[in-house]
Amino acid sequence: MAILSPDRPIVAQIIVTRRCNLACAYCNEYDRRSSPVPTASLLRRIDRMAELGTAVITLSGGEPLLHPDLDRIVARIRERGAMAAVLTNGTLLTEERVRRLNRAGLDYLQISIDNRAPDAVSKKSLSVLDHRLVWLASLAEFQVTINSVVGVGIDNPEDAVEIARRARGLGFTSTVGVVHDNKGQVQPLDEAHRNAIDRILRLNTSLFSFAQCDQFQENLSLGRANHWHCRAGGRFVYVCEDGLVHRCSQQRGTPGIPLESCSAADLVREANRPKPCAPFCTVSCVHRVAVLDSIRERPAETLTAMLDRQKKRNPGFEASWLVKLLFWLFVNPRHAR
């Protein structure tokens, strides 16, 4: 299992097209003209990531639903034994598209929604997407997470709270992201934005929902640095449209080596390298991978801290049988190794 083997990637994010049908003002990850990456190249990249032992392969862009062979690419990920995820703006979803993603075996889909109604910054809006969320709630056989965004350039942080409530009401999980600059670094937040993050984090009731890994967002919203080791380039890799391996979307060019010649030793070296951008980094998927590594390396300390945070946010929190089992295995002094 990738999580137990420190030399394998937990998550690989593969760009299937740089093109997007939207043009969010804060985004540095899209263009308006690129062609889809040839399917044969993508299938080879998936095979190579599978050979390296990757657990989760996430298809991203630009807008990945613009790729005409997305279903085939998802199916290949599943055939190679990895979990398949798609990060999308959701605007191209149709009922038929949801059914096709079911048939392809998709495990997980994330939609980012920025505001209630379109504005000059973003058209990823609840009013545009709500009927598509209803289709997903009734048809999707995969897990759906709705990510809302707060921070500088987002005028109404209350929108993020409403979006998260709607997501929870439809049975989805919700996360919150902080807008970053073009290097993935945080911008200072005012009280209204900090308050919105706090209320969204309180909506989550599961110890192991992705949102419970978002302690780092709370620190960033308060202007506090996070003390963590970023393992991007090894435990998380970003494969761009040209087939080069980078640490993450915000550190493209580093190391920038071709995937076909990337070895397990390259991954370990990059994972171990200190990253000066780490203290104020907002790249949430890499933080989540770091939480999994913390559970592997320091299970008792990490699980106890997660449980304490959850009880602080939700005093009525009741641990599930899975959480109790993990505590029995790792935290109870009579059984801990």
Binding-site ranges for ligand SF4 (CB under 6 A) = 20, 22-24, 27, 29-30, 61-63, 89, 124, 184, 230, 232, 247-248, 250-251, 275, 277-278, 281, 283, 286
Nearer to ligand SF4, 24 or 326 (CB): 24
What is the C-alpha separation between 295 and 302, in angstroms, rounded?
6
Nearer to ligand SF4, 203 or 239 (CB): 239
User: Which distant-in-sequence residues (6+ apart) come within 8 Å of 103 by Cβ?
Assistant: 71
Nearer to ligand SF4, 247 or 303 (CB): 247
Nearer to ligand SF4, 264 or 277 (CB): 277
DSSP 94-149: -HHHHHHHHHHT--EEEEEE-BSS--SS---BHHHHHHHHHHHHHH--SEEEEEEE
Cβ 101 to ligand SF4 shortest distance, Å? 18
Cβ 156 to ligand SF4 shortest distance, Å? 18
Cβ 254 to ligand SF4 shortest distance, Å? 7
Torsion, Cα 45 260 235 215, to 10 degrees, reads -50
One-letter amino acid at 306 equals: M
Cβ 333 to ligand SF4 shortest distance, Å? 35
Cβ 217 to ligand SF4 shortest distance, Å? 13
Spatial strand order in the sheet of 255-258: 173-178, 143-150, 108-113, 83-88, 56-60, 11-15, 236-239, 244-246, 255-258
Can you tell me whether residue 216 is helix, strand or coil?
helix
- Beta-bridged to residue 125, according to DSSP, are 115
Cβ 152 to ligand SF4 shortest distance, Å? 15
Nearer to ligand SF4, 122 or 310 (CB): 122
Nearer to ligand SF4, 27 or 170 (CB): 27
Torsion, Cα 289 146 215 197, to 10 degrees, reads 160
What is the C-alpha separation between 83 and 95, in angstroms, rounded?
22
